[in-house]
Amino acid sequence: MKFNNPLLALLLISVIFSGCSSNSEKPIKDKSDSAAPKEIKNASSEQPAAKPTSAIVPSSVLPVGPVMPNPYLQNPQKLSEQVEVNFHDAVVSIQQKNWDRAEAVLKQLAEKNPKLSGVHLNLGIVYRNKGDAEKAAAEFNRAINANPKNVDAYNQLAVLKREAGDFASAESLYQKALGVWPFYPEGHKNIAILYDLYLGKPEQALPHYQAYQQLLSAPDKQVDSWVADLQRRLNGGKATEKAPEKEEQK
């Protein structure tokens, strides 16, 4: 089955590659950490894809060597047919913004499959869309506890912390995500925006913006403009025009 909706892709991949306990943020229009659900490869994508694993990425904040794949997606867990059917029901409900139906289905899945990190991640996304930050945070934490390699759960929780004004916790969560997967594009973008806008550390933001760009198959033109504006500011100059707003990628 092929899905073209970015949120749908995130949700489906998150569950299929959830793993066990043994184990955004894209430019929209505003200048705040990226929070829109990212589209993961294996689904139809219009966003720049991560570079192949053979690529060498030179950057002071990226490890030297080839880009390694997301460890969260490396050990897929076989699911029963019924779990897949129920989850598809939840995905369709989310696509239709039927949050109550999605919540009900995902809660049942979580109760019967508490170690499926992706179920908790997606339930948290549902609660976030319903405006319940407390329940969303609880589910993102459950997702992390079920699988500490779930970088998307760290990202989602960091967005909530940033929105609550807890910038230190947001920074820590982004750093944890990058500790799990140093080649996480959204993690670099989001922590760069956090440093740039909220923590007043532009010199720390720049290399993460650059890392984000290097991890894309084609540069993000909007981020290019942010980098140019930041470089002018760091060089003591002033931008000739207002830089585009920045928003977290969820």
Give the model confidence (pLDDT) of 160-202 as tens digits.
999 999 999 999 999 999 999 999 999 999 999 999 999 999 9
Mean pLDDT of 136-163: 97
Is 135 strand, coil or helix?
helix
Q: Residue 142 to residues 25, 58, 164, 187, 239: CA-CA distances in angstroms?
A: 20, 35, 19, 20, 43
Alpha carbons 134 and 201: distance in angstroms, whole number: 29
In a domain, 240, yes or no: no
Looking at residue 48, its pLDDT comes to 37
Three state DSSP letters for 196-225: HHHCCCHHHHHHHHHHHHHCECCCCHHHHH
Q: Half-sphere exposure of 95 toward its Cβ, with a 13 Å CA cutoff? A: 15
In a domain, 244, yes or no: no
Domain that holds residue 156: 6-234
Looking at residue 249, its pLDDT comes to 72
Alpha carbons 143 and 132: distance in angstroms, whole number: 17
Least-confidence region, from 10-24, 132-146, 174-188? 10-24
In a domain, 226, yes or no: yes
**Comparison of pLDDT for 133 and 78, the residue scoring more:** 133
In a domain, 167, yes or no: yes
What CATH number should be reported for the domain holding residue 162? Answer: 1.25.40.10
In a domain, 88, yes or no: yes
pLDDT tens-digit series, residues 45-71:
223 334 444 445 555 799 999 999 999
87 pLDDT exceeds 60? yes
Mean pLDDT of 31-55: 35
132: Cα separation from own chain's centroid: 19
Sequence-distant (6+) residues with CB within 8 A of 184 are: 70, 151, 155, 177, 178
Cβ atoms 147, 23 nearer than 8 A:
yes
Looking at residue 246, its pLDDT comes to 65
Alpha carbons 177 and 231: distance in angstroms, whole number: 26
In a domain, 246, yes or no: no
Alpha carbons 32 and 10: distance in angstroms, whole number: 21
Sequence-distant (6+) residues with CB within 8 A of 88 are: 1, 12
Total number of domains in the chain: 1
Looking at residue 12, its pLDDT comes to 52
Q: Mean pLDDT in the chain?
A: 80
Full-model pTM: 0.77
In a domain, 250, yes or no: no
In a domain, 239, yes or no: no
